[in-house]
Copies of this chain bind each other. A is one copy, B any other.
């Protein structure tokens, strides 16, 4: 009936207690979605995991999707922060290794959350756009890097930087997600090594012999 909304559009928590509960819900939400997937991601599950009552959910979030967006944003922010390779690292190959190591180690968990959300993304434009932006960020960054290496005469100039960035980015992204679903456990550092060598040889970079 287009009933007038009388419920508060939730505002930022005013007290420390409120802030604590708010954050606990985001953390709990993330755990729930990691563990039980999209279908298990219900306000009830989230509030139970956070140890608060059902109604408290709506004290802080306008809707289930509102929380979802905030979880995605938080995961994305975390990935950005964790994946930044220090500028002090100069050697191109070392930079690749470091980027891959960080992506796998530090951001694997966040990547999983994003993947779980992709399902919902088929329905919601905002969320889909957000996910696209996140991917674009990584692809764009790699593309730039490849271009710079080409200009410096270190990478094969015959490669299309964008296509290459898309392909190599896809590799790392997908490996980060499936790494824990595989039959066998897997030596992460060794995988980082292989990913980096693939990356380097694709660009025509000289891989330092170990």
Contacts and interface: CB of A to CB of B under 8 A. Distances in A.
Given A3-B39, A164-B198, 10 more contacts: A6-B36, A38-B38, A39-B119, A40-B123, A115-B118, A116-B119, A132-B182, A136-B183, A159-B194, A170-B170
Interface stretch (A16-24, A78-86, A173-181): A173-181
A136 B136 CA distance: 29
A97 B190 CA distance: 27
Contacts of A37: 119, 122-123
Nearest to A135: B178
A2 interface: yes
Contacts of A7: 44
Interface in A141-166: 159-160, 163-164, 166
Contacts of A6: 36, 40, 42, 44-45
By Cβ-Cβ distance, the 8 closest A-B pairs, closest first, are: A37-B122, A171-B171, A170-B174, A174-B174, A119-B119, A198-B202, A201-B201, A1-B65
Nearest to A139: B182
Interface string A62-84: 01110000000000000000000
A63 B120 CA distance: 22
A179 to B, nearest CB: 8
A150 to B, nearest CB: 14
A97 to B, nearest CB: 14
A132 B181 contact: yes
A3 B63 CA distance: 13
Contacts of A173: 174
